[in-house]
A and B are shown apart, each in its own frame.
Chain A
Amino acid sequence: MKANRQEKVQYLKPWDCLSVLVPLLVLAILVPQSVWGERRLPSDSVYALSATVENEQGETLQWQDLRGQPRLVSMVYTRCRMSCPLIIHQGMSVQQRLLEEGKAVPRLLVISMDPVHDTPEVLAATMARYRLSPERATFLRPRDHQERTLAALLDIRFRPRDDGGFDHTNVWLLLDAEGRVVARTEKMTGAPDPSFVRQVEALMASHSSQGDY
């Protein structure tokens, strides 16, 4: 009787975990490659962040979905009357410069720091005002209060003012297809910063030669 009873009482031993842990480990190694079929993100990729964003067409995307092509990235708010139009125009003139030279052009990725006001409708209207097509630009608003997380990743600072506006960094970043920051320019007036344009050109050239558009 006693011996029987002792048999029933089983203590969890460390190696009992193995039967579950080993398949889990195997899965953890296999799943990313089989399901996503992609290479691991480099450790300095901004796409390591899990965040939800919404584009100007009202589609909800994961931030990681933007991976795969080089992009020019900036943050603005659409009620801005002074520096934000300058920022957008500067991004467009970088594109224009490349077009004139017959080069490949990266999309603009314009992220709002004012997601409450910058609804998809407002973002779409802003794009229309600048005559920007979806082939040329994507406008996004972060969801779940993640505008600060994205700004921190991109090293962009902003601060709400009591008049509803923001003080903010004026900058364009060049991200490669894997989400690494390749270049940065804070020149927002006049002709585009030549060294920045050269870096965009070089990245686009190496990207299209890889042929993984």
Chain B
Amino acid sequence: MPLLCMLSAAVVADDYVSLAGGPFHSSLRFGNGDKAVFVAGYQLMSRPVREAEFLAFVETHPQWRRDRIPALFADAGYLAHWPGPLTPRSEALDFPVTRVSWFAADAYCRAQGARLPSWLEWEFAAAADDRQTDARDDAHRRQRVLTGGTPGAYRAAGESEPNVYGVHDLHGLVWEWPWDHASLMAAADSRNVDTENPLRYCGGSALAFSDRRDYAVIKRVALLSALSARTTLSNLGFRCAKELP
């Protein structure tokens, strides 16, 4: 009971949808030529994690408060937009949480008995629109997704139409941490990953993409793979995934 004094009332329930998976042509090359990869079925949160949800996590896992988190787990920008360590702006509680490091996103999902989605799982869900499971050949959509960017980073989630799986806001709101962000850009034929190479961000590895028209995806991969797991950005959030029930 007394512990309730410290908990905030606004806790939004996590909402997952099931995706059956199937063969999928990733825009990233996984060292398998252009063959389809098989995506096993999984569940994905229908929306990115909100500020209110992340606040509840930080309250119950105080080692992830911005004033207690070890420097190794997040840079100085971690939750820096909150007026206090346990006080997001009240008008933003329903916004997707941003300025969270990969470590914090990973810990949040683990605490829910879930995990971060792999890049493939994210890409599989994000290939759909509101009519088809793979809408990536639609040139208009491609243009929209590319120019859309992340303008919604500062507005409430859930404005976009859900795709055929019932998943919202994979595009046009915030970018999202995948579990395997650190392994996206390794060239398919290199045995060693050069950890010091700044070109990882600036381009070098367009050859690792099997569909170079998919600029929105390329842009996203280039950004995500360049980040260290402690990085926080004002337009980078996350959602969780888990196995099918």
Interface on A for B, CB 8 Å cutoff? Answer: 12, 14, 16-17, 19-21, 41, 43-46, 48-49, 82-83, 144-145, 148-149, 151-153, 155-163, 167-171, 186
Contacts and interface: CB of A to CB of B under 8 A. Distances in A.
B54 interface: no
B195 to A, nearest CB: 5
Given A21-B2, A148-B180, A168-B192, 7 more contacts: A12-B5, A17-B5, A48-B70, A49-B73, A83-B192, A159-B186, A167-B192
A20 B3 CA distance: 9
B182 interface: yes
A19 B5 CA distance: 12
Contacts of A44: 70-72
Contact of A152 (B1, B31, B110, B229): B229
Contacts of A45: 70, 72
A171 B32 contact: no
Interface string B184-208: 1010101111010000000000000
Q: Which 5 interchain pairs have the tightest Cβ spacing?
A: A159-B183, A152-B229, A20-B2, A17-B5, A48-B70
Contact of A169 (B2, B6, B180, B193): B193
Nearest to A158: B183
B70 A167 contact: no
Contacts of A17: 2, 5-6
A188 to B, nearest CB: 9
Contacts, number: 85
Q: Which of B3, B30, B72, B190 has the most CB of A within 10 A?
A: B72
22 contacts: A14-B5, A17-B2, A19-B2, A21-B2, A43-B72, A44-B71, A46-B72, A49-B73, A82-B191, A83-B192, A148-B179, A149-B103, A152-B182, A157-B195, A158-B182, A159-B180, A159-B193, A161-B30, A162-B31, A167-B186, A168-B193, A169-B195
Contact of B31 (A82, A149, A151, A161): A161
B2 A153 contact: no
B5 A167 contact: no
B209 interface: no
B115 interface: yes
B182 A16 contact: no
Contacts of A148: 106, 179-180, 182
B228 interface: yes
A20 B4 CA distance: 12
Contacts of B192: 83, 167-170
A88 B164 CA distance: 49
B122 interface: no
B183 A157 contact: yes
A113 B182 CA distance: 13
Interface string B1-44: 11101100000000000000000000000111000000000000
A48 B107 CA distance: 13
Contacts of A145: 115
Contacts of B1: 12
Given A44-B71, A46-B72, A161-B31, A155 B228 contact: yes
Contacts of A16: 2, 5
Interface string B56-69: 00000001000000
B165 interface: no
B183 A160 contact: yes
Contacts of B106: 148-149
A88 B5 CA distance: 53
A162 B70 contact: no
Interface in B106-125: 106, 110, 115
Nearest to A163: B31
Nearest to A144: B110
A206 B192 CA distance: 34
